[in-house]
Amino acid sequence: MEHMPEASRDRHSPFPPDAPTRADAKAMDARDPLAGARDQFRLPQGLIYLDGNSLGALPRRAPDRVFEVMRLQWGEDLIAGWTRHGWMDLPLRVGSKIGELVGAPDGTLVACDTTTLNLYKLLAAALAERPDRRTVVSERGNFPTDLYVAEGLFRTLGQGHRLKLADRAEDVVAAIDTDTAAVMLTQVDYRTGALHDMDAVTKAAHDKGALTIWDLAHSAGALPVDLAGTDADYAVGCGYKYLNGGPGAPAFLYVARRLQASFVPALQGWLGHARPFDFDPAYVPAEGIGRTIVSTPSVLSLAALEAGVDTLRSWRMADIRAKSEALTEIFRILIDPLAERLGLTRASPRDPALRGSQICYRHPEGYAIIQALVERRIVGDFRAPDILRFGFAPLYLRHVDAWDAAANLVDVIETRAYDDPRLRVRARVT
């Protein structure tokens, strides 16, 4: 099917007669307000990339930006670059730009370290804010590293803290009680794309005297987030998914302004000191969000991340979200009527307003099916035990890409193109 001439694809459509056609998808692309955004990314010819929820595409401005920092700033100015080019200010400068995308006012969000380290900092701070409480509420399906961080921190503290895990997202609010110190959730479920109601959960937590920690790894850059407007307490997120900051890009963290003065850094780094270049052996925390910074800024990585964030900031988040919903919905409308016949079970909510920028299906041969699609240059990913995950990054994906991906998914399953032992050999990264 991947070699089918474009003009004949609708004639060979695997979908019911009343389904959207490839021509319909192309018409949607013709009136797409984000159509020009695709040109701002480097994408391999003929590739349909549905894994931007794992690693975003390369913004065209990123290589020049990083090369400028390497050749002109580092290469010419060496150590003077810290002052002359404001390298030390990058965490706050880039953080402020990310803050525009997630409803975080200036001085409440900083780009630094990794999501895991930042989560450790915030969870420790939340427990210090609620010293008489011992429970952290999360859900069993939360991203594993979030749960690992909590368990590791609890062992370090040795004060009888525990994780209380809801089996379903809808059970989280009922799990919050007067012993809950913090509610720690990923806003968009990494496996299913199901979207938590940040406003409702935060209000429920506050009603019980608990704090909230939101993981925005699958939210930031893909859908509107309003941290200040929902009165969220803390948040973390990564820079390499929808922010397109590159592999292992710096993460970010948010601390509501009302909590900054009492924020107790569990990781006391020299750049979180009030006067780092006094080299005082006694730690004195910096004012505000600066105290959350631990290490020397990763200048090259922050330069790449800034290029990704600047690319994103060129477009309206409302348009990004509208296209995200349209992309996942055309895929769902095409696949759902055939799902039972194909052995697929939708894992994502039916309503596009209740999911992030991805849609997922379950199949016993999920891994091999994804590998068969990759061989056709349609890149999604697999999440154990059986989830086929298709991420739709609105800035560089087209509606016709969604149509072609759905058609190839049907063909791969119907022709059993996945039924090859070679495609069942699990790679280290799935």
DSSP string, 222-248: TS---TTTTT--EEEE-SSSTT---TT
Taking 50 as the threshold, does the pLDDT of residue 381 lie above it? yes
Q: What is the pLDDT of residue 350?
A: 97
- pLDDT (tens digit, 9 = 90+) per residue, 322-341? 999 999 999 999 999 999 99
CB burial of residue 24 (10 Å; 0-12, 13-18, 19+): middle
Q: What is the pLDDT of residue 11?
A: 55
CA atoms of 294 and 113, how far apart (whole Å): 8
Instruction: Report which of 40, 34, 35 is spatially closest to residue 58, judged by C-alpha positions.
Output: 40
Phi and psi at residue 288, to the nearest 5°: 65, -150
Beta pairing partners, 215: 186, 236
Task: Give the pLDDT band of residue 428 (cuts 50, 70, 90).
Answer: confident
405 close to 50: Cβ distance less than 8 angstroms: yes
Structure tokens at 289: 């969000």
First to last CA, the chain: 24
Report, in this order, helix, strand and coil percent for the chain, each rounded to 5: 45, 15, 40
Annotated catalytic residue: which of 240, 361, 382, 396? 240
Residue ranges, CATH 3.90.1150.10, the chain: 6-59+316-424
Q: What pLDDT shows up at residue 9?
A: 52
Establish whether 130 is a catalytic residue.
no
Which residue in the block uniquely carries the two structure tokens 């991906």? 405
Question: Is there a catalytic annotation at residue 241?
Answer: yes
Q: What is the pLDDT of residues 192-246, one digit of tens each?
A: 999 999 999 999 999 999 999 999 999 999 999 999 999 999 999 999 999 999 9
Position 346 pLDDT exceeds 60:
yes
Domain 86-313 has CATH 1.10.287.130: no
Active-site residue, selected from the candidate residues 22, 133, 241, 355: 241
Per-residue pLDDT reduced to its tens digit, 138-148: 999 999 999 99
d(CA 393, CA 126): 33
Higher-pLDDT residue of 247, 426: 247
Instruction: Please report which confidence band the pLDDT of residue 5 belongs to, taking 50, 70 and 90 as the band edges.
Output: very low
φ/ψ of 278, rounded to 5, equals: -80, -20
CATH architecture for the domain at 6-59+316-424? Alpha-Beta Complex (3.90)
C-beta of residue 286 within 8 angstroms of C-beta of residue 272: yes
CB 215 within 8 A of CB 186: yes
CB neighbours of 197 closer than 8 A, spacing ≥ 6? none
- Mean predicted confidence (pLDDT) in 388-401: 98
Q: List CB contacts of 133: < 8 A, sequence separation 6 or more.
A: 127, 178, 179, 180, 181, 209, 210
Contact by Cβ (8 Å): 124, 176 = no
* Statement: residue 426 has pLDDT above 90: no
CA gap 217, 30 in Å, rounded: 31
| Local confidence band at 269 (pLDDT 50, 70, 90 cut-offs) | very high
In the residue annotation, 252 being an active-site residue is answered as no
Q: Is the pLDDT of residue 1 over 80?
A: no
Q: Is 240 a catalytic residue?
A: yes
Residue ranges matching CATH 3.40.640.10 in the chain: 86-313
- The H or E element that residue 203 is part of is helix 198-207
Q: Tell me the percentage of the chain whose pLDDT exceeds 70.
A: 97
Residue 10, pLDDT score: 59
Determine the average pLDDT of the residues in 266-293.
Answer: 95
Report the pLDDT averaged over residues 414-419: 96
The catalytic residue among 215, 233, 401, 411 is 215
In the numeric block, the tokens 């200036």 are attached to 106
Which of 15, 143, 252, 390 is catalytic? The answer is 143
pLDDT band at 347 (very low <50, low <70, confident <90, very high): very high
Are the beta carbons of 203 and 225 closer than 8 angstroms? Answer: no
- Catalytic status, residue 215: yes
CB atoms within 10 A of CB 202: 22
> What per-residue confidence (pLDDT) applies to 427?
87
Give the β-pairing of 378-379 and 48-49. parallel
Locate 41 and state its tokens: 């990314």
**By mean pLDDT, which of 20-24, 139-143, 178-182, 421-425 is the weakest?**
421-425
pLDDT in tens, 55-64: 999 999 999 9
What's the half-sphere exposure (Cβ side, CA atoms, 13 Å) at 23?
A: 6
Q: What is the mean pLDDT of the chain?
A: 95
pLDDT of residue 12: 76
Distances, alpha carbon 289 to alpha carbons 91, 107, 248, 255, 348, in Å? 10, 6, 22, 7, 36
311 Cβ neighbours under 8 A, 6+ residues apart: 37, 40, 41, 59, 61, 244, 395
